[in-house]
């Protein structure tokens, strides 16, 4: 597939999926597609035709919400998934039979897996998702890929064994009362540096006047952690948003690339979160290289030093009293939410989906709302001209904004290919192919529902395919949809749609 022939793209096959939130990403290996579904169903399909090879269906507690891990991992002869009842499971890639399973958390404590693990160098790395009411700090673990034995555990917040100055960022909050810092998206791994990169979420309660941390940064929330694969020790960290007051998680699937920056070849890690700021860091040292605002407006930061990345927050929006309200841009559904961005080494460009959205937050007592927030009116962002969805292309070397594609509906996850293409679906129901260099739309097709799955490209027997899930959408997609009520996105059944070039 390339810019010249993508207009011939046509449906090759389709496959029905389980009911529930649609944020799944298949993987393909040796002609077999391994497809995760909601409620921890995994299927192996013939990647050429969609014929079912095997199926794994987990028995979950009755009160489990219809959700599931966004992705799975493959390593050697096993498929790995995290479950909604707090287990890490290894399946035989050949049969789907359980090889081992390890309980990592008690799902009754309101922690679970909503993102899949990564597997490399004999280990499986996985992070838990925690809510505002979770009574323990969130954490991630590493396991022996052959047996499931836990090798180490790293919490998302500073605690015993961490530097005193890091613990001090929680003010007077004792370790036992520090909460959240969720790992609700999957990280990345550098096999040469032996480092695992994972982003963390917000603290709880969200407003600092309710959690008692004063103006402390509350480490290591809203940070990118570089962890030693052998021990889980933090090699370095970079906090993208200290003192989060508004549930602005900095969750991402960090992108690793070797790129020339200011004339020097650097090992770079890129990360983007709800604040709508794209960060480029040296992945060996954590040194700030550059940052770029991708949304049309923000009022969270007063200043970010372009050289050092030092952050000055906008004190004007920091809550001072309960029962007060504040417009925050981006809001908790703005910037980049669950969507994946992408990097193309041939263009040296990053392609990032963001949402130009603001929310009016009301500060509430924790006996009314355990998070301390009420999510109020959603509003269009200043400078967006009513266009909520944006796909932004920037230089991997400098962060220069090279092109944008703006539209009414929010934009989902991104895929870029060696043929000079960028694929992205939207929260209405369109799936598009763009020219990676210019942003021109080369092909588009309305699908059965909101395109909130993660698109992939693969080849079997020399034939290239592109696959993406569509259907029921997500809570975030439906919330953002309030900005464009005239676009009636059908919330239909989930379906995987696979495309190839027609004759």
What backbone torsions phi and psi does residue 190 show, to the nearest 5 degrees? Answer: -105, 110
Strand partners, 267: 258
If one compares 35 and 490, the residue with the highest pLDDT of the two is 35
Q: For position 136, what pLDDT does the model report? A: 86
User: Confidence class of residue 230 from pLDDT cuts 50, 70 and 90?
Assistant: very high
User: Confidence class of residue 63 from pLDDT cuts 50, 70 and 90?
Assistant: confident
C-alpha–C-alpha distance, residues 70 and 51, integer Å: 22
Percent residues over pLDDT 90 in the chain: 92
* Helix ranges (DSSP H) in 152-239: 164-167, 208-211
Query: Does the pLDDT at position 66 exceed 70?
Result: no
CB-based contacts of 76, cutoff 8 Å, min separation 6: 145
Query: Does the pLDDT at position 375 exceed 70?
Result: yes
Average pLDDT over residues 269-283: 98
Query: Does the pLDDT at position 491 exceed 80?
Result: no
User: pLDDT, tens digit, for every residue of 211-227?
Assistant: 999 999 999 999 999 99
Average pLDDT over residues 98-121: 93
C-alpha–C-alpha distance, residues 34 and 21, integer Å: 18
Cis (ω within 30 of 0) for the bond into 330? yes
Query: Does the pLDDT at position 263 exceed 80?
Result: yes
Q: For position 469, what pLDDT does the model report? A: 97
C-alpha–C-alpha distance, residues 391 and 237, integer Å: 28
The token duo for 142 is: 């590493």
Q: Are strands 188-190 and 195-199 parallel, antiparallel or unpaired?
A: antiparallel
CB-based contacts of 195, cutoff 8 Å, min separation 6: 189, 226, 227, 228, 229, 235, 283
User: pLDDT, tens digit, for every residue of 465-482?
Assistant: 999 999 988 888 999 999
C-alpha–C-alpha distance, residues 233 and 357, integer Å: 36
C-alpha–C-alpha distance, residues 435 and 423, integer Å: 9
Q: Note the pTM of the prediction, 2 decimals.
A: 0.97
Q: For position 266, what pLDDT does the model report? A: 99
Query: Does the pLDDT at position 310 exceed 80?
Result: yes
In contact, 204 and 132? CB cutoff 8 Å: yes
User: pLDDT, tens digit, for every residue of 397-413?
Assistant: 999 999 999 999 999 99
The CB-side HSE value for 89 (13 A sphere, CA atoms) comes to: 26
Q: Could you tell me which of 295, 271, 440 has the C-alpha nearest to residue 343?
A: 271
Q: Give the three-state DSSP class for 300.
A: coil
Q: For position 110, what pLDDT does the model report? A: 84
User: pLDDT, tens digit, for every residue of 162-221?
Assistant: 999 999 999 989 999 999 999 999 999 999 999 999 999 999 999 999 999 999 999 999
Q: For position 69, what pLDDT does the model report? A: 77
User: pLDDT, tens digit, for every residue of 121-142?
Assistant: 999 999 999 988 888 899 999 9
């Amino acid at each position: 597939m390339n810019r010249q022939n993508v207009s011939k793209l046509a449906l090759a096959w389709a496959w029905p999926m389980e009911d529930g939130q649609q944020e799944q990403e298949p993987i393909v290996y040796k002609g077999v597609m391994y497809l995760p579904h909601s409620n921890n169903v995994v299927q192996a399909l013939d990647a050429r035709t969609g014929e079912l090879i095997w199926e794994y269906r987990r028995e979950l507690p009755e009160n489990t919400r219809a959700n599931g891990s966004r992705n799975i991992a493959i390593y050697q002869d096993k498929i790995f998934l995290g479950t909604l009842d707090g287990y890490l499971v290894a399946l035989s890639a050949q049969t789907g039979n359980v090889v081992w399973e390890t309980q990592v958390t008690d799902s009754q404590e309101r922690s679970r897996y909503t993102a899949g693990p990564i597997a490399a160098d004999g280990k499986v790395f996985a992070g838990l998702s925690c809510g505002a009411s979770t009574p323990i700090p969130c954490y991630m673990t590493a396991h022996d890929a052959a047996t499931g034995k836990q090798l180490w555990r790293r919490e998302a917040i500073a605690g015993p064994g961490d530097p005193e100055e890091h613990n001090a960022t929680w003010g007077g909050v004792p370790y036992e009362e520090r909460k959240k810092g969720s790992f609700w998206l999957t990280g990345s791994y550098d096999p040469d540096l032996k480092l695992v990169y994972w982003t963390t979420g917000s603290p709880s309660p969200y407003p600092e006047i309710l959690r008692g941390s004063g103006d402390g940064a509350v480490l290591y929330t809203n940070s990118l952690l570089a962890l030693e694969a052998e021990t889980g020790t933090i090699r370095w960290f970079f906090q993208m948003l200290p003192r989060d007051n508004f549930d602005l998680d900095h969750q991402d699937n960090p992108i690793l690339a070797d790129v020339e920056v200011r004339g020097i070849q650097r090992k770079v890690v890129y990360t983007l979160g709800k604040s709508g700021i794209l960060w480029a860091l040296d992945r060996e040292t954590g040194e700030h290289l550059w940052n770029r605002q991708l949304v049309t407006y923000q009022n969270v930061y007063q200043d970010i030093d372009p050289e050092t990345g030092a952050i000055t927050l906008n004190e004007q929006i920091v809550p001072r009293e309960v029962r007060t309200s504040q417009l925050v841009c981006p809001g908790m559904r703005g910037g980049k939410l669950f969507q994946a961005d992408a990097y193309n080494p041939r263009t040296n460009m990053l392609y990032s989906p963001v949402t130009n959205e603001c929310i009016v937050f009301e500060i509430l007592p924790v006996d009314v709302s355990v998070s301390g927030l009420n999510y109020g009116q959603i509003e269009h962002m200043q400078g967006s001209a009513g266009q909520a969805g944006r796909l932004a292309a920037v230089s991997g070397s400098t962060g220069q904004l090279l092109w944008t594609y703006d539209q009414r509906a929010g934009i989902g996850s991104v895929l870029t290919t060696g043929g000079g293409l960028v694929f992205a679906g939207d929260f209405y129901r369109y799936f598009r192919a763009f020219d990676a260099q210019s942003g021109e739309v080369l092909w588009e097709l309305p699908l059965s529902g909101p395109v909130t799955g993660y698109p992939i490209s693969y080849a079997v027997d020399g034939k290239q395919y592109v696959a993406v899930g569509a259907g029921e959408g997500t809570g975030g997609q439906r919330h953002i949809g309030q900005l464009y009520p005239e676009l009636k996105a059908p919330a239909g059944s989930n379906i995987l749609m696979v495309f190839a070039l027609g004759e």
